[in-house]
Structure 1
Amino acid sequence: MATSKGSFQDKANDFMRGRNGMDELGMAALALSALLALVNLFGRWAPLTAVLLLLLAYATFRTLSTNVSARRNENESFCDRIGPARVWLRDPRAALEESRQYKHATCPNCHQRVRVPRGKGLVRITCPQCRQKFEIRA
């Protein structure tokens, strides 16, 4: 039974208050370092170990940073760059299954992505965001 006064959870919450915490870029750095650690188990290579430790330090720095606005801008830039690959990285099997059943079209006006069932031939689409009509072969 944890008491509210001085419990470890309260101290950890107080310590992390005002800090960035874990975000997509930090998780990517941590995942990449875990992958490199796994690779490094089979063949010990000093430069790979150095890169692994730098990635771990960077992920820790991002998590504990109090400059939240700068870390948010970096994370937003990272998310913009990785863009469509995020779906594939999150769940590759589901993304592959969806790519077999649906085609993704992009609105020429507002760049909203629209999902269209495959095998329907020439389809006229109305963008749900800007109401622009365009045609695509599905």
Structure 2
Amino acid sequence: MKIAIASDHAAVDLKAELTDWLRSQGHEVNDLGPATADRVDYPDYGYKLAAVVAAGDADRGIALCGSGIGISIAVNRNPACRCALVSEPLSAALSREHNDANVIALGARLTGVDMAQACVTAFLSTEFGGGRHSGRVEKLSQPAL
């Protein structure tokens, strides 16, 4: 699977751990940065990740920042992205099954490597359930204002 991953400075270490682990699992990983722990702004990397996923250049995305909140908001500004902030495997799986999430967000200050790997595993291995969820998911990209 093609996976794009991006973070801010607070999550650069978790990003490196997940990138190495995903590649060892046979996935093609596009690390969108940053490369160092120098201070950066999470919206810049959230928007970059969203653009790659929206363009179809990645099957799924993983967004990381200190809490996961800020970068998930940035990713969700792109109407083609459905980013779910998760902290355990059940929410990661439900984000796929019910919401057809194409990006997950994790907080590096709140989630350890083992739990992050469990969340990513659930996210990547769960298919969208379709059916009664399909119409709701369609509405997520076309808000009625």
TM-score (normalizing by structure 1): 0.30
TM-score (normalizing by structure 2): 0.29
Higher relative contact order (Cα pairs below 8 Å, separated by 6+ residues): 2
Is the radius of gyration larger for structure 1 or structure 2?
1
Higher helix share: 1
